[in-house]
Chains A and B, each alone.
Chain A
Amino acid sequence: MSMATATTQPAGQTIERENYLNKHYGVGSWLFTTDHKRIALLYLLSITFFFFIGGFFALLIRLELLTPAGDLVQADTYNKLFTMHGQVMVFFFLIPSIPAVLGNFLVPMMIGAKDLAFPRINLLSWYLYIIGGVMMLHCMLTGGVDTGWTFYVPFSTAFSNTKVIEAGLAIFVAGFSSILTGLNFIVTIHRMRAPGMTWSRLPLFIWAHYATSIIQILGTPVIAITLVLVVAERALHLGIFDPKLGGDPLLFQHLFWFYSHPAVYIMILPSMGIVSEIIACFSRKRIFGYGFVAISSISIAVFGFLVWAHHMFVAGISVYAALVFSILSYAVAVPSAVKVFNWTATLYKGSIRYDAPMLYAFGFLGLFTIGGLTGLFLASLGIDMHVHDTYFVIAHFHYIMVGGALMGYLGGMHFWWPKISGKLYPEGWARLAALIVFIGFNLTFFPQFILGYLGMPRRYYQYPPEFQVLNVLSTAGATVLGIGYLLPMMYFLWSMRYGKPAPDNPWNAAGLEWKTSSPPTTFNFEEEPVVTWEAYNYEELDAHPDEEAPSVG
């Protein structure tokens, strides 16, 4: 089916083509848009805002830990700092980061659709996120929370004197934004694929987002109801989680981790999808073992639901339950390893280019592997007894969430920035930033593995002097890392005004999103594309370099 575009033939190439960015102007055209690409940019602005708030808390935490004495902030201020760092980063940055920004922008384009299945629900999800975000901001500005991001009962329901109810409700509301995004993606991937775009031709980015969406729709409602119970318990003192009144705090932990462990996969799976796209493009090869990589995303989502109690090995669950959850946690490593090995095999004999997105993908490979392998340490019962609630755990999950998820997010932002903005970013600066992020990250978090192994517990604002050297290293690394994160923001903004105009396909990449203009028109394609080729047909693409890729028909 054709679609009318108002573009008149440009007489000179200097006239800007009509696209989704310049079609309408004004605040209203953004706040009431139902265009998935504009909503993606709304999300980009909002999550960047929350990222820097969360980062600010992290900075204060690292400054406090520069010296063994608790001298910068009071103990209860420190409790609030790490709580709000966790809540902001998890619920307001990492969960929406890749799905709501890059997923929103790319899912319809990659499958050849004009929009997501439910554009208005998509806009609604952004407003829910904003409402939740404003509630969270209000909560932080009027006192904050000190329960840890995990809201553990009975502290959160019976003892804490901080704004638990408000934070709980903020996360409750933001959760529905995540559910609606997942729902929209699943329906879109099922129902909106262009003719010829079969399941086996889907980009792995789409498979990853499909798996992510399953977790979003099945996991998020459980944390929502758990937060309802926490709020009700705190407001009315019902006894559901209070052992004094016959309630069971462990029930809370089960319900909480039933979502919050799979939530880790909401963060990492989309990142894995990005890495698959980047590695195939920059080694000019079809991804090795396409089917295995696709199915491994789904199996991570499924297994991810069966491992939650490994957070509770020392909380008093039965030995047999612990045994089962330990084995199942090992099982999750299998599909993760399938991915890592297949990416590595894709690199083998590839024509590798070291552009910034690829540098982030390499960073992801190494850091995710370290994060994953230390996860196996933690899944084994004996070692977990030793390192539970120490900095070893902190380092482990930051390797996954920051070294994995965030590296992938940045890689994806660089890879698709020409498509999103229509401008090229400065490659030299980008490579430098990738290097700074990698060095800063390792300097921040590797010492924490050692600290944790030596016995430094998490969530303490003082520590014995013998831990100081490693803590100073970590704080220094955090500073480097902060610079690494500021740089991309600055040159992305710079490129929007001063960057060179991007060609439609700057990387000569496969994938439908590169067959439309940069930036795309509001409806993505001039004509509905018909897909007749496999995903990642780089060998084909490079064999006929001047031939226009088989395209819209």
Chain B
Amino acid sequence: MSDSQTAAVPDGVPSDARSDAHGEAYNPALLHHFATEEQQRDSASLGMWIFLATEVMFFGGLFCAYLIYRGWYFGDFGAASKSIDATLGASNTAVLICSSLTVVLAIWAAQTARRTLMIGMLILTMLFGLTFLGIKGIEYKQKFEEHHVPGKSFSFDHVPIPGHPDQFANPDHAQIFFSLYFIMTGLHALHMIIGLGLFAWLLWMAWKGRFTPEYHTPLEIGGLYWHFVDIVWIYLFPLLYLIDRHP
């Protein structure tokens, strides 16, 4: 169905047909400036890995700030962390792990030419992504109602520090926690939204039959991105939700 697009253009064939399309409209076959399909696939994959390295440094700055203040204000951070619903966080962790599985299955389906399964798995991935954002929304709503959103109406008075019932958390320090909480989870949610857009595009391409066992690079690098966003959450969950919690 898509052989005209995916058939490899043998080396050495004059590429008049391609020479005008200097990186223009989308073409799943070989782009003109690559010599082989393998080179094109390797480039795309390396590009995504390097982008993820950039992302690690982007979140790294926040993790650094978090670690410093957590060390300084451990008790206040523990109290603030306890006010977040860990069950919601744990459910979101489960949701994201499931979505990573469905991404892998979608890629496997593309490799083994199972079109229906691939489309089903892409839809499932997006549903998991939306569920995650929904749960996140519930969590944000709770924080908003409890006046835990940093800013003018922030209040965190008379909250005891875990393990020290006679001491109250310092609201200023708790506000630093909630600032970092909202910036980190907010940026993570933004990445999820971008991921959903990416997967909507992948779904559309899969629907049009663009992916074959020979060519499914966009699916692979889209999957890399999705896994990365999941992994960020795997770090965020214990750091933000599980400070100083005891059964």
Contacts and interface: CB of A to CB of B under 8 A. Distances in A.
Given A1-B35, A115-B23, A237-B151, A245 B65 contact: no
A232 B19 CA distance: 47
Given A1-B15, A2-B12, A221-B54, A191 B176 contact: no
Contact of B43 (A117, A229, A255, A522): A117
B180 A225 contact: no
A407 B49 CA distance: 35
Say which size band chain B's interface belongs to. Answer: 35 or more
Contact of A224 (B12, B58, B170): B58
Interface in B158-202: 170, 172-173, 175-176, 179-180, 183, 187
Contacts of A236: 150-151, 179
A248 interface: yes
Given A1-B12, A3-B19, A237-B151, A255 B64 contact: yes
B23 A34 contact: yes
Contacts of B15: 1-4
A191 B46 contact: yes
A283 interface: no
Given A192-B39, A251-B65, A217 B50 contact: yes
Contacts of A33: 22
Given A218-B54, A245-B175, A246-B176, A1 B11 contact: yes
Contacts of B34: 192
B60 interface: yes
B73 A246 contact: yes
Interface string B44-65: 0011001101110111111011
A187 B57 contact: no
Interface in B57-83: 57-62, 64-65, 68-69, 72-73
A135 interface: no
A406 to B, nearest CB: 27
Interface in B137-173: 150-151, 170, 172-173
A216 B35 CA distance: 27
B114 interface: no
Given A115-B23, A240-B179, A522-B22, A192 B57 contact: no
Contacts of A121: 47
B176 A239 contact: yes
A349 interface: no
Interface string A32-49: 011100000000000000
B65 A183 contact: no
Contacts of A143: none
Overall SS of chain B's interface:
helix
A119 B59 CA distance: 27
B136 interface: no
Say which size band chain A's interface belongs to. Answer: 35 or more
A394 to B, nearest CB: 28
Contacts of A117: 33, 43, 47
A238 B54 contact: no
Contacts of B46: 186-187, 190-191
Contacts of B55: 221
Nearest to A195: B35
Contact of A225 (B53, B58, B73): B58
Nearest to B41: A191
A232 B183 contact: yes
Contact of B183 (A184, A229, A246): A229
B150 A246 contact: no
Contact of A232 (B12, B58, B69, B179): B179
List the 5 closest A-B pairs by CB distance, nearest first.
A221-B58, A34-B23, A225-B61, A119-B23, A238-B179
22 contacts: A1-B12, A2-B14, A3-B19, A4-B15, A113-B33, A117-B33, A118-B47, A119-B23, A179-B54, A183-B54, A187-B47, A190-B43, A190-B46, A191-B39, A221-B58, A225-B60, A229-B61, A236-B151, A239-B172, A246-B73, A246-B172, A523-B32
